[in-house]
Chain A
Amino acid sequence: ILNVEQSPQSLHVQEGDSTNFTCSFPSSNFYALHWYRWETAKSPEALFVMTLNGDEKKKGRISATLNTKEGYSYLYIKGSQPEDSATYLCAFLNSGAGSYQLTFGKGTKLSVIP
C-alpha cells in the first residue's frame, strides 16, 4: 500500500489570507500527481494533473508545485475566499505498467472565515 500524506489535516484562515498545504508521496516509481477539490455534499472535482519535476500549475488564485525527487507537492491559495472552503485531495499515480489506479491522501480541510 502506497503512503500518501497530506498536512495539515485541517486549517482555518481568514478571508483574504493566503495559505498553502502539502502532499507527500513516494519519490520512486512516480508517474503523476493529481489534485482535487471536494466541497461538502458534492463529489471531488479535478484541479491539476502534474507529471514533471518542477511543474507549476495555476488556475485562478490556486496554484501547485511539484518536486518528484523529494516526493512532495504544495498547493497554494492566494487571497482565500469563503468559496474556497473545501477539502483538497492529492492522489498519486505510480509508474507500474498500465496502472490507472490513484492512491489518495486523506485530504486537507480548508475553512475560510468571512
Chain B
Amino acid sequence: DAEITQSPRHKITETGRQVTLACHQTWNHNNMFWYRQDLGHGLRLIHYSYGVQDTNKGEVSDGYSVSRSNTEDLPLTLESAASSQTSVYFCASSGRSRTDTQYFGPGTRLTVL
C-alpha cells in the first residue's frame, strides 16, 4: 500500500544545530507540503513543492529550507535550530487534482533545547 513516512519520529537537538527532517511518500504525488503544529495555531504551512526542483515558501518559512530532487522525498532543514522551532512537524502529499485530499505523515516531534 502507498504511504507517507517521516523520520525521525522524535528528535531532541540544541540551539544552533542544523537539523533535517525526512519525508518520503510512495503515492507518486507531485505535491508535497510541510506544516508545523503548535498549540493555539493549528497547522501552519512552512514550505511546499509542486514537483521536482520546485519549492515555495509558506506562511512560516523563516529559518527553514526544503529541496526536491525526486518525486518521493521532501526533506525539511532547519539551518540553525532555535527554541521557537520546537514543534510537531507534519509532512503531507496530494495528487494532481486541486480537489485531491492531502495525505499526512505520522509527524515528527522536535525539541530544541
* A residues neighboring B (CB under 8 Å): 1, 31-32, 34, 42-46, 49, 51, 89, 93, 98-107
Contact = CB atoms under 8 A, between A and B. Distances in A.
Given A43-B90, A101-B48, A107-B42, A31 B101 contact: no
A44 B48 CA distance: 18
A104 B42 contact: yes
B31 interface: yes
Interface residues of B, number: 25
A100 B94 contact: yes
Given A44-B102, A100-B50, A106-B40, 15 more contacts: A1-B59, A32-B99, A42-B106, A43-B90, A43-B105, A43-B107, A44-B104, A49-B99, A89-B43, A93-B99, A99-B98, A100-B94, A104-B43, A106-B41, A107-B42
Interface in B77-101: 90, 94, 98-101
B99 A101 contact: no
Given A1-B59, A106-B42, A32 B107 contact: no
Contacts of B59: 1
B42 A102 contact: no
Contacts of B107: 43
A47 B60 CA distance: 26
B94 A105 contact: no
Contacts of B90: 43-44
3 closest A-B pairs by CB: A46-B101, A43-B104, A106-B42
27 contacts: A31-B98, A32-B98, A32-B99, A34-B101, A34-B102, A43-B104, A43-B105, A43-B107, A44-B90, A44-B102, A44-B104, A45-B104, A51-B99, A89-B42, A99-B98, A100-B48, A100-B50, A101-B33, A101-B45, A101-B58, A102-B102, A103-B45, A104-B35, A104-B42, A104-B43, A104-B44, A106-B40
